[in-house]
Amino acid sequence: MNPETFFWAIQVLIAIALIGSSIAAIRFKNLISAVIAMAVFSLALSVEFYILQAPDVAIAEAGVGAGLTTAMYLLAIRNTTDEEVVE
């Protein structure tokens, strides 16, 4: 497999991961599961940034997007309820 084919194969896999995790985050009724899906999205996006030769952006996305934001959402959910209320 030549490097260009490998590059595009990785691009397609990351795109599938991004689309799948975003759909999962929208469809989950459990808020904790939705937050975890958003963290997976952020991690996949940071891998994409790294592959596109932007390691500084990748580190920032992984640290802030996957780490800090996920922790803040989970703390907020802990103080409320973990199920979506539909009226």
pLDDT at 84: 64
Provide the whole-model pTM. 0.85
Give the type of residue at 20.
Answer: G
Higher pLDDT, 10 or 79: 10
C-alpha 9/C-alpha 31 separation (Å) is 32
What is the tens place of the pLDDT at every residue in 30-84? Answer: 889 999 999 999 999 999 999 999 999 999 999 998 899 999 999 998 888 656 6
pLDDT at 78: 86
pLDDT at 83: 65
**Alpha carbon of 82 to those of 12, 32, 41, 54: distances in Å?**
33, 6, 20, 35
